[in-house]
Amino acid sequence: ATQRQPYFDVACCPANLARLMAQLPGLIYSQRRAPATEVFVNLFVASEADLDVGGTAVKVAQDTRYPWDGDVAISLTPATPRTFTLSVRVPGWSRGEAVPSDLYRDARPADGAGRPNDGNARPTATIGDEPVPMTLDHGFLKLTREWKTGDVVRIHLPMPVRRVLANPAVTDDTDRAVIERGPLVYSLEAADQAESPSALVLPLDAELTPAFRPDFLGGVEVITGGGVTAIPYFAWNNRGPGEMAVWIRYR
């Protein structure tokens, strides 16, 4: 008779988390040395990095509360003045693009109008006190100049609460929308609602208000309005078993 080997169900998340933490410095910052010297800021994380940029030591530091707000200060400290390109990623969500495909789309019109709270805000950038044109190349703001100690690039990414729709071909999500703010997807957890999350209806024009609660779920931005309370998706299932919904009916 053939003896079958026991089957073990091994979770993938711990191994993926270990890999992510080991790779994180190279995901936040990266460099290209040819055809021109270029330093990339790919992720917004309060951090510091010591780089060798064409033979010049350069310290790059970020000061930010991202993802809770979209203000990022990037400080550059080269050992001596050095000319290179600083390329800062400007996320698609800040430009009204849910993803780079038609799978999901922002419920706002293409001009950004018609949504409460957003004021038609757009990403902005400054170096010192001087505004920088927000001209993007493949999603990056490229700033080429001679950088000196004390130079600070400030990026402002407005974070209105948004509603995101699925492609109409995804029939399970018909008449449903996701709540998003900045880079985060939100969910409705039964612990916060007066009725079942699957039974709730939240119109697309409902006024939704974010507020940071430092004493709740380790400190998160909570969104309330229209009779619902939404928490970041990553924070659900920390208060015992209960129903949760991400795709919320809007009619």
Q: Are 210 and 137 spatial neighbours (Cβ–Cβ below 8 Å)?
A: no
Q: What is the pLDDT of residues 3-62, one digit of tens each?
A: 555 555 556 778 888 888 888 888 899 998 877 799 999 999 999 999 999 999 999 999
Nearest to 235 by CA among 251, 249, 224, 246: 246
pTM: 0.85
Q: Give me the mean pLDDT over the 136-158 stretch.
A: 96
Its sign, for the CA torsion 193, 195, 196, 200, is negative
Residue 114's pLDDT is 41
Q: How many residues belong to the chain?
A: 251
Question: In terms of pLDDT, which residue wins out, 125 or 1?
Answer: 125
- Given a cut of 90, whether residue 119 has pLDDT beyond it is no
The amino acid that residue 111 corresponds to is D
Nearest to 39 by CA among 59, 64, 63, 19: 59
Q: Are 210 and 161 spatial neighbours (Cβ–Cβ below 8 Å)?
A: yes
Q: What is the pLDDT of residues 192-231, one digit of tens each?
A: 999 999 999 999 999 999 999 999 999 999 999 999 999 9
